[in-house]
Structure 1
Amino acid sequence: MPAPKIDKARAIAAIAELFREQGYHGTSYAQIMKASGLGKGSFYNYFPAGKVDIAKAVLKQIDCWFEENIFAPLDTNDVPEKVFCKMFIAVNTYFDSGQRICLFGAFALYDAREPFSSEIKSYFQRWIEAITTYLQNQGLSEPESRHLAQCSMVAIQGGLVMAQATDDTNVFTQATSEAKNMMLKALK
Structure 2
Amino acid sequence: MRPAQAPSPAVLDSLFAVFREQGFEGASLSDLSKATGLGRSSLYHYFPDGKEQMAQAVLERARTIIDTEILGIANAAGSLKTRVRKIIATLDQIYGGGRSACLLGRMATSSIGGAARQDLQLAFDHWIEAIEKLAIESGQAPAHAHDFAQDWVARLQGALLLQAASGDVGPYNRAMDALQDLA
Give your verdict on TM over 0.5: yes
Report sequence identity in percent: 25
Q: Tell me, in whole angstroms, the C-alpha distance in 2 between the residues paired with 1:135 and 1:14.
A: 34
Cα RMSD after superposing both structures: 2.0
Q: TM-score, normalised by structure 1?
A: 0.84
Question: Tell me, which stretches of 5 or more residues in structure 2 are unaligned?
Answer: 1-6
Shift in Å at residue 88 of structure 1? 0.9
Counterpart residue number, 1:20: 20
Shift in Å at residue 41 of structure 1? 3.7
Shift in Å at residue 73 of structure 1? 0.5
Counterpart residue number, 2:168: 168
CA deviation digits over 1:41-89, x for unaligned, max 9?
Answer: 4212211111111111111122222222111010124211111111111
Q: Is the 8 A contact 1:84 1:180 kept in 2?
A: yes
Aligned length: 177
Q: Tell me, in whole angstroms, the C-alpha distance in 1 between the residues paired with 2:112 and 2:164.
A: 20
Deviates more, 1:153-162 or 1:130-139: 130-139
Q: Is the 8 A contact 1:76 1:134 kept in 2?
A: no
Counterpart residue number, 1:54: 54
Q: Tell me, in whole angstroms, the C-alpha distance in 2 between the residues paired with 1:99 and 1:105.
A: 14
Amino acid at match of 1:80: L
Q: Tell me, in whole angstroms, the C-alpha distance in 1 between the residues paired with 2:39 and 2:66.
A: 29
Counterpart residue number, 2:4: none
CA deviation digits over 1:121-176, x for unaligned, max 9?
Answer: 11111111122234435554211221221232122112111111211123312221
Counterpart residue number, 1:33: 33
Is 1:75 paired with 2:75? Answer: yes
Q: Tell me, in whole angstroms, the C-alpha distance in 2 between the residues paired with 1:22 and 1:149.
A: 27
- Describe the shift of the 1:113–1:99 C-alpha distance in structure 2 as closer, same or farther (beyond 3 A): farther
Amino acid at match of 2:93: T
Deviates more, 1:125-134 or 1:107-116: 107-116
Q: Is the 8 A contact 1:92 1:173 kept in 2?
A: no
Amino acid at match of 1:176: M
Q: Tell me, in whole angstroms, the C-alpha distance in 2 between the residues paired with 1:65 and 1:12.
A: 13
If asked which structure has higher relative contact order (CA below 8 Å, sep 6+), I would say 2
Q: Is the 8 A contact 1:159 1:176 kept in 2?
A: no
Q: Tell me, in whole angstroms, the C-alpha distance in 1 between the residues paired with 2:140 and 2:49.
A: 45
- Describe the shift of the 1:58–1:121 C-alpha distance in structure 2 as closer, same or farther (beyond 3 A): same
CA deviation digits over 1:96-137, x for unaligned, max 9?
Answer: 112111111111123337663212211111111122234435
Larger Rg: 1
Counterpart residue number, 1:66: 66
